[in-house]
Amino acid sequence: MKKLILLTFILAFSSSISDAQSFQNITLQQNDSILFIQYDFTGRQGYSYDIGVIINSKNQGIIKPTSISGALNGLTTGSGYYIAWCVLKDIQSLEGNISVELKILRRHTTQGRMDNHADGRGPENAFLSMLLPGLGDVFVNDEDPIIKPIYISLAFLGSAGLAIYGHNQSKKYEEAAKNSVMEYEINNNLEQAAYYQSNSALMGVFCATIWVCDVIWVVAKGASNRKGTSGPIHYPEESRTKLRVGSNGELAMMSLTYRF
């Protein structure tokens, strides 16, 4: 037996404004379960911008959409920009009063070099990670990374410390075996030496893996930051869930219908 669920909620839009940068004429369009955010953008001449989307819901708190695409990177002054959000790929429902905030994340020069708060986020930060994994991540990562740089540094230092400790213990027991007279003492010391040497080698491999992976990540992420290209809008398959958008003065009205 099919059921029909109808949810209605109000969307109020706000935008972030920084210096000479601003968003204007923010509107909604609907295509099945996709919410399109259309806007105009004004920025400083000679710069391009990367932006993010934040949803503030009274009932559900802050939502950071992940199933979004469109005009998010490399923006210059222009009109008719679109962002597509596949609402139901990120959340099961959306109710109550919410606000959508467009936020400037980074600023680039038109020649590709980042400026001001975005400066220094290029692949050259890999040299810092060569000195200490995690250090370069501080400069290239976006906000709220999955793995915080401090954890990478601690994992590297911890595994390196355990590798050194295991090596020293192995040498200690090898020396004890040489100075032992009884056969059982010799065998016991050699077993302990092999145990610590095995652990030392394992921690050494883990330490080296962290170092290599972090350097590669910082190079790749830094190159992506510098490139700052925007991706196309992807249209997902048609959903049984429908979103309908209308307007009511300064507010946008939306209804969400799901059949199952």
The helix/strand/coil state of 169 is helix
Say what the pLDDT of residue 202 is.
94
* Maximum pairwise Cα distance, the chain: 94
181 Cβ contact partners less than 8 Å away, ≥ 6 residues apart? none
Per-residue pLDDT of the chain (260 residues; tens, 9 = 90+): 333 333 344 454 545 444 567 888 887 676 777 778 888 888 887 778 888 888 777 777 888 888 888 888 888 888 888 888 887 888 877 666 667 788 888 777 765 444 434 456 788 888 999 999 999 888 888 766 788 899 999 999 999 999 999 999 999 999 998 888 888 888 998 999 999 999 999 999 999 999 999 999 999 988 887 775 444 444 444 444 444 444 444 444 444 444 44
Say what the pLDDT of residue 207 is.
94
> Can you tell me which residue has the tokens 């930051």?
225
Token couple for 194: 């092999």
**Angle separating helix axes 149-179 and 183-227, nearest 10 degrees:** 160
Using an 8 Å Cβ cutoff, are 106 and 114 in contact?
yes
Instruction: State the DSSP H helix or E strand holding residue 14, giving kind and residue range, or none if neither.
Output: strand 4-15
In angstroms, rounded to a whole number, what is the distance separating the alpha carbons of residues 235 and 244? Answer: 17
In angstroms, rounded to a whole number, what is the distance separating the alpha carbons of residues 62 and 98? Answer: 9
For residue 247, give Cα distances in angstroms to 87, 114, 231.
19, 39, 29
In angstroms, rounded to a whole number, what is the distance separating the alpha carbons of residues 61 and 94? Answer: 11
Q: Sketch the domain layout of the chain as residue ranges.
A: 4-112+229-249, 123-227
Whether the predicted model's global pTM rises above the 0.75 cut: no
